[in-house]
Chains A and B, each alone.
Chain A
Amino acid sequence: MSAQHAIVFDKVTKTFPKASKPSVNETSLAIEKGAFVTILGASGCGKTTLLKMVNRIIEPSGGKLSVFGKDIREVPVNELRQSIGYVIQQVGLFPHMTIEENIATVPNILGWDRQKTQKRTEELMELVHLPTNFKNRYPRQLSGGQQQRVGIARAMAGDPEILLMDEPFGAIDAITRTKLQDDFLDIQRKLGKTVLFVTHDVDEALKLGDRVVVMNEGTIQQYDTPLGMVSKPANEFVKQLIRTDDLFLRLQLINASEKMIALTEPPREGEPRVSGNESLRNVLQRLLVQGSGRVLVEDADGLPVGQLTLDILKFEG
C-alpha cells in the first residue's frame, strides 16, 4: 500500500440506488506504478463501475480508493480527473472542435500557453501515428480507428501518470484493432504509464496486460499475470473464461527464449529460425509447417543461441 502503488482499492463497494446487490463488492486491489492491468469479465460484472470509481465518475458507496497514496476524496474532483487520462469505447470527441482543439482540452483547462500546447499536440499526434495534417479536421472526418487515436492522444495531453480505458477498441474492426493494440502497447512501454484497461475480449486482455483482473458478479476472481492466469486458474470460473485448456493460447503467452535449450548440434543451413521474443505458438507453427525437427532461436544480433523441439512444447501442454 505504499508509494510504489499507483492505485489502491481498499474494500471498495458500489451499490447503485435501488439495486438489490452491489455491482462491485468489497474489492481490494493494489496496482503497481507503471503496470498495464486489464480487467476482464462478462457483461454486467462491474468492470466499468470499478474503473469509473477511480476518477469519481461513480462514487463508491463504501471503502477507500487512493491514487499514489492519497485518498481520492481529498483531492478536488476536477483536479483529480485532470491528472488521470480517460478513454471510452464511444470515444466522445467534441464534434464541434478540430482534432487539435480536442487534443488540447486538458492543456487548455490547465491554462498552458499556446506555444506549449501546440508543441504538445503535435508530439501526441506523432505518438499515436496521426498525420499532422489532420490537425484542422473535425472528428467526423476521421474513421473510427483514427478517432480513437485522437481519444488516446487527448487523454494523454496533460501527461497523466494513470490512464483509464473502458473498452477503447471495442467498437473497432479486428484488423484495425490489432494495429491499435500494438501501437498502444508500444506507447505504454515507451512512457511507462499505469494503465487500467477494461475489455471483455480474452485475447485482448492477455495480450495487452502484464497483469489481468478477472471479475465476476462484482468480485475479483483472480489477479495475476497472463501466464499465471492460464497455467494456474484460481477457480472454475477463470478456467472457463480464459479457456485454459486451450494449448495454443498458453503457447502464445510464452516466449521462445524462456523455454529454449542449448544447441545440441551446430546450426545447419535452411533450418527454421525465430527470434527470442516470438511466442511458442509461432515456434510450433514453424515446426509443423516446415517439418523440421527443431527451430533455432536467435538472439538480438541474429545469432542462433538455442533450440526448441516438439518435445519441449509437448511438455508445456
Chain B
Amino acid sequence: MDALTGAYDYVLANSERFWDALRVHVTISLSALLIALVVCVPLGIACAKKQWLSVPVMATFNALRVIPSLAILVLILPIMGTGFAPALVALTLLACPPILVNTYLGFRSIDSFVLESASGMGMSQGRILRRIEFPLAAPLMIAGIKTAVVEVVASATLAAFIGGGGLGTFIINGLSMYKFSILLVGAIPVAMLAIASEIVFAVIERRTTKFQRV
C-alpha cells in the first residue's frame, strides 16, 4: 500500500514527466501498429491469393515470431543504435507476425464457392474485397491485431532499454534505485493499457463474429 501511495505521490510531483512518458509510450505503440498494419494487411492478402508468395513470406514471419521481443531489441541495437527510431523498428517487427499470419489465414479461410458466387453475380473485385472478403476475414484479422496490440504495448516498456523512452523509463529507474513505488509508476499504466486494449478488441471481435454465433 505504501508503494501505491508512493507511486501516486511520484506522479503528482513529476506529472509532466509522467504524461510525457505516457505520450511517448502510446505514440510509439500506435506508430508501430500502424506501420505493421499498412505493410502486413496487403502483404497477407497478397499471400493468400498467390500461393508462390506465401511460402517464403510465411516462413520468414513465423521465424520472426519465435524471437523474443527483448532479443529483437538487443539485435537492433548494434545496427541502429539507441533512441526512438530503433525502438519503433523493433516494435514494428514485433507487431508484424500476428497481423500478417492472421490476415493470411483469414483470407484463406474464405470458402471458394462464396467467392465464385460473388463474382458470378457480377460483383467487381473491389466490391468483393470490401463486402465479402474483409468481413469474412475480420474475425481472424481482429484476433491477430489484438495479439499485436497487447504485445506492442507491453514490449514498448522494453524500448526504454534502448533509449526509446516511454513508461519503461520508470521501471528501469525503479529497478536501478530499488524503489518499488517508481517501478509501479511505469508498470501499472502499462498493465492498464494492455487490459484496456484487450477489452476494446474483445468488443470489436464480438461484433465481427455476430454471424457465427447466431
Asked if A and B bind, the verdict is: yes
Closest to A76 in B: B122
- Of A77, A88, A138, A151, the residue contacting B211 (CB under 8 A) is A138
Interface residues of B in 80-136 (CB under 8 A from A): 111, 113-124, 127, 132, 135-136
Task: Decide if A140 is an interface residue (CB 8 Å cutoff).
Answer: yes
Residues of chain B with a CB closer than 8 A to A81's CB: 119-122
Instruction: Please judge, given known A-B contacts A91-B113, A141-B214, whether A96 and B135 are in contact too, CB under 8 Å.
Output: yes
Q: B167 to nearest A CB, angstroms?
A: 39
How far apart are the CA atoms of A92 and B118 in the complex, in Å?
Answer: 8
In the complex, the answer to whether B117 meets A78 with C-beta atoms within 8 Å is no
In the complex, the answer to whether B114 meets A94 with C-beta atoms within 8 Å is yes
Task: Decide if A121 is an interface residue (CB 8 Å cutoff).
Answer: no
Interface string of B170-203 (1 = CB under 8 A from A): 0000000000000000000000000000000000
In the complex, the answer to whether B123 meets A96 with C-beta atoms within 8 Å is no
In the complex, the answer to whether B116 meets A109 with C-beta atoms within 8 Å is no
In the complex, the answer to whether B123 meets A105 with C-beta atoms within 8 Å is yes
Residues of chain A with a CB closer than 8 A to B132's CB: 94
In the complex, the answer to whether A154 meets B121 with C-beta atoms within 8 Å is yes
Task: Decide if A303 is an interface residue (CB 8 Å cutoff).
Answer: no
Residues of chain A with a CB closer than 8 A to B211's CB: 95-97, 138, 140
How far apart are the CA atoms of A90 and B114 in the complex, in Å?
Answer: 9
In the complex, the answer to whether A92 meets B116 with C-beta atoms within 8 Å is yes
In the complex, the answer to whether A92 meets B111 with C-beta atoms within 8 Å is yes
How far apart are the CA atoms of A57 and B115 in the complex, in Å?
Answer: 11
Chain B interface residue number, banded:
20 to 34
Task: Decide if A36 is an interface residue (CB 8 Å cutoff).
Answer: no
A-B contact count (CB 8 A): 69
In the complex, the answer to whether B119 meets A95 with C-beta atoms within 8 Å is no
How far apart are the CA atoms of A81 and B128 in the complex, in Å?
Answer: 14
In the complex, the answer to whether B117 meets A88 with C-beta atoms within 8 Å is yes
In the complex, the answer to whether A106 meets B120 with C-beta atoms within 8 Å is no
In the complex, the answer to whether A109 meets B114 with C-beta atoms within 8 Å is no
Chain A interface residue number, banded:
20 to 34
Instruction: Please judge, given known A-B contacts A88-B113, A94-B132, A138-B211, whether A57 and B120 are in contact too, CB under 8 Å.
Output: yes
How far apart are the CA atoms of A88 and B122 in the complex, in Å?
Answer: 15
Closest to A85 in B: B121
In the complex, the answer to whether B113 meets A109 with C-beta atoms within 8 Å is no
Residues of chain B with a CB closer than 8 A to A90's CB: 111, 113
Instruction: Please judge, given known A-B contacts A95-B211, A96-B211, A141-B214, whether A88 and B116 are in contact too, CB under 8 Å.
Output: yes
Q: B205 to nearest A CB, angstroms?
A: 14
Closest to A92 in B: B117
In the complex, the answer to whether A79 meets B214 with C-beta atoms within 8 Å is no
Q: B206 to nearest A CB, angstroms?
A: 14
Residues of chain A with a CB closer than 8 A to B127's CB: 109
In the complex, the answer to whether B114 meets A92 with C-beta atoms within 8 Å is yes
Q: B44 to nearest A CB, angstroms?
A: 19
In the complex, the answer to whether A109 meets B123 with C-beta atoms within 8 Å is yes
Closest to B125 in A: A78
Task: Decide if A257 is an interface residue (CB 8 Å cutoff).
Answer: no
Q: A293 to nearest B CB, angstroms?
A: 55
Task: Decide if A86 is an interface residue (CB 8 Å cutoff).
Answer: yes
Residues of chain B with a CB closer than 8 A to A138's CB: 211, 214
In the complex, the answer to whether B121 meets A57 with C-beta atoms within 8 Å is no
In the complex, the answer to whether B122 meets A95 with C-beta atoms within 8 Å is no
- Of A83, A94, A151, the residue contacting B118 (CB under 8 A) is A94
Task: Decide if A38 is an interface residue (CB 8 Å cutoff).
Answer: no
- Of A78, A83, A95, A140, the residue contacting B123 (CB under 8 A) is A78
In the complex, the answer to whether B122 meets A109 with C-beta atoms within 8 Å is yes
Task: Decide if A45 is an interface residue (CB 8 Å cutoff).
Answer: no
Residues of chain B with a CB closer than 8 A to A97's CB: 211
Extra contacts besides A57-B120, A94-B114, A94-B132 (18): CB < 8 Å: A57-B119, A81-B119, A81-B122, A83-B122, A88-B113, A90-B111, A91-B117, A92-B115, A93-B117, A95-B212, A96-B136, A97-B211, A105-B118, A109-B122, A137-B214, A138-B211, A138-B214, A154-B121
Instruction: List residues of chain B with CB under 8 Å of any chain A CB.
Output: 111, 113-124, 127, 132, 135-136, 211-212, 214
For the complex of A and B, the 6 pairs showing the least CB-CB separation, nearest first, are A92-B117, A81-B122, A82-B122, A90-B113, A86-B120, A92-B113
